[in-house]
Structures are given as C-alpha cells and as structure tokens.
Amino acid sequence: MSTRVPLPRWVDVALLPVLNVMLAFLIGGIVVMLVGQNPLDAVGIMIYGAFGYGSGFGYTLYYTTDFIFAGLAVSVAYQAGLFNIGPEGQAYVAGLGVILVALALNGLPWLITVPAMIVAGGLFGAAWAFIPGYLQAKRGSHIVITTILFNFIAVSMMGYIISKHLKPVGVNSDESAPIDAVSRVPQLNVFWDLFKHSPVNISFILALLALVGVYWLVWRTKFGFAMRVLGQNPTAARYAGISNSRMIMITMALAGALAGMVAVNNVGGVQGRLILNFVSGAGFVGVAVAFMGKGHPFGVALSALLFGALYQGGQELAFSMPGITREMIVTIQALVILFTGAMGDMLRPPLERVFFKPPNPSSAEGG
C-alpha cells in the first residue's frame, strides 16, 4: 500500500481551496446555462454587487463580520480536537445577554453600552457553549451531538422568552423593545461615507481584532500550545500534565464567546432589538468557513469574505437577473459549501500525483 505524501504547504492552504471554489462555480455556471442565462454575466453581476459600489461592499463586510465570528468559534474548538457545530445556538442565546444589557442601559452613549453588550454577549454565548463542553469532559457525551441538539434547544427557548417575556405590550411581531439609536453599535458610514446606507458597523473592527487575538492565543501562548497538544494527541497532553477536561470546558466557553459577537453585530447594531432567528444560518456557514480556512485565522478571514461576497452578490444577482431564482442562488452557495467542506479533499489525490516526485531509480541504484 502506498503512503500518502503531504502536499506543499502553499498547495494545501491556498491552491486546493481555490480549485475547490472554482469547481463549485463551474458547476454553478452549468446550472445557470441550463436556465438560459449567461454565466459570465452572472459572475460579473455578483462581483459588482459585492465589491463594485459602497453600499454593496458594506453589505459584504456585514455578512463577513458574522462569518468571521462564527468561523473562529468553530476554529478555536477545532484546535483542541473539538467539532463545535453550535455557533448558531450560541449566538442566538448571546442575543439575550446583549438585549438585556442594552435595555438596562438604554439611552446612554454607545461608548458605554457597546462594551457592556460585548461582555454580556460573550458571557451568555460562553455559558451556552460551556454546557456541551462540560458534558464532553465529565460525562463523555460527544460534542457534535450535544452542540447540534443545543441549537434546537436555543431556538425553542429563545422563541418562548421573546414572545412571552420580552415582547412589549401592543406589539404584534415577536421582538423585544428597541434600543435607542444613541446606544446602538454605530455604523461605519458615520465615520466613512463610502459605506453609505449599508449596515456594516464597528463590529467589523471587532472581528478583525478577534482574528489577531485568536492567532496570538493559539500560536503564541502557553494556553494555545496546550490546546493544540490536546487536539493532536490527548494521551500525550495528559502525560504532559495538561488537564484535558479543564481545557475542553475552557475552549468551548471561548468558542461560545466568539459566537456571541454575532449577537453584538445584529442585536446591538443592525436590528437594534432582539428578533426571532436573527442569526439566520450564520452559525452553520461558520462551520464551512472554518474548514475552508483550515482553522487558521487568516484562512477564516478570506473564506468569510468569500461567503460574504456570495451572499451579497447573490442578492444583487436575484435583483438584476430575474431569470435566476433565489433557490438557484442558494444552490450555488451550497455548491461552494459542498466542495470546500464535505468534499474539500476530493482534488487532493490528483494534486498529490502532480506535486509528488518519485525517486530516480538510477540514482537509487548508484547510491
């Protein structure tokens, strides 16, 4: 049996994901052709919608912000060998912490309320993720199963809390009381006119800081080293004196805190209130973002930007090319997730044959 030969680092990190995305767009282009539309025109419209004008670029960065936080929540846990499939529920529960603090401080300047919302969202998200971490560490419950189930529990629990306790009297829709404009997370168009009417806010700056912070934590600290040892060899970690159960619980809490920043972006900023299902699948997209980015913050940033462009470009495409339905756009997005996530290694064997140089038999005989 032949042994697998590792690919060069730049091929594994850069070329392979790019080829996967190109393959997804190629198949998506075939789908577009089957309905009688020009795939090149469709790609041009998507690129223009995502980057061609200020508001569109702002929407791209808004989606990117959510995907960065969700992707980091998955990536941090993955470094410790944990598959956190729960950012959707963790962000949803974090919205409760954000709105409770925001309404308690309503009317105060955003310089006071925003830090409080960040702390509250992080704590509520961390608490929700800590429970599956505890169950894995102390009871042996599989983290994938518990985090998936906790997504459903979060949906039911938050629906009850919003409709029965946070919904103001006389309001028909299930939502909380609004946050005053002065107390919300400020939009970037206040500081930079380029973004015009887009919802991107200073949570995007927070996301960039989170990328730097996660890189420093995982690759430049003793805690990060212990986390990576746990992820690569739990037995070696235990013999090195690392408490595996403690690391699992802390790592999951940290992942939940990162997912909780999605609530700061949406509840504290864009929506200005707590509404049903405000996460809108960003937590699940974060799983694909993390695996496409190989669990590295730089890769997460690039893949989050790609998915942000797909979301905003898809909306522009639906508006500008009516022959392409919303369902077809979702199909194209799903193809990218499929080829970069579930089938991310499909092109690895051909690349291994391309970049693997077998030893020269004559030189071996001469030696």
Residue 341: DSSP 8-state: I
Is residue 322 very low, low, confident or very high in pLDDT (cuts 50, 70, 90)? confident
At residue 254, the pLDDT reads 98
* Largest pairwise CA distance in the chain: 90
Domain tally, the chain:
1
pTM greater than the 0.85 cutoff: yes
At residue 319, the pLDDT reads 86
Concatenating the DSSP letter of every residue in 224-284 gives: HHHHHHHHH-HHHHHHTT--HHHHHHHHHHHHHHHHHHHHHHIIIIISSS-BTTTTTTHHH
CA pair distance 197, 195, nearest whole angstrom: 6
Residue 13 lies in a domain: no
Q: Using alpha carbons, select from 363, 308, 271 the residue that is nearest to residue 58.
A: 308
Residue 339 lies in a domain: no
Is residue 289 very low, low, confident or very high in pLDDT (cuts 50, 70, 90)? very high
**Token pair 């198949």: residue:** 27
Phi-psi region of 162 (alpha: psi -120 to 50; beta: other; left: phi over 0): alpha
Residue 325 lies in a domain: no
Once rounded to an integer, what is the mean pLDDT over residues 86-113? Answer: 97
Using a 10 angstrom Cβ sphere, with 0-12 exposed, 13-18 middle and 19 or more buried, the burial of residue 167 is: middle
Residue 136 lies in a domain: yes
Specify the higher pLDDT residue, 181 or 323: 181
At residue 10, the pLDDT reads 76
**Token pair 């919608």: residue:** 49
Percent of the chain at pLDDT above 90? 68
Domain residue limits at 182: 64-293
Concatenating the DSSP letter of every residue in 2-63 gives: PPPPPPPHHIIIIIHHHHHHHHHHHHHHHHHHHTT--HHHHHHHHHHHHHSSHHHHHHHHHH
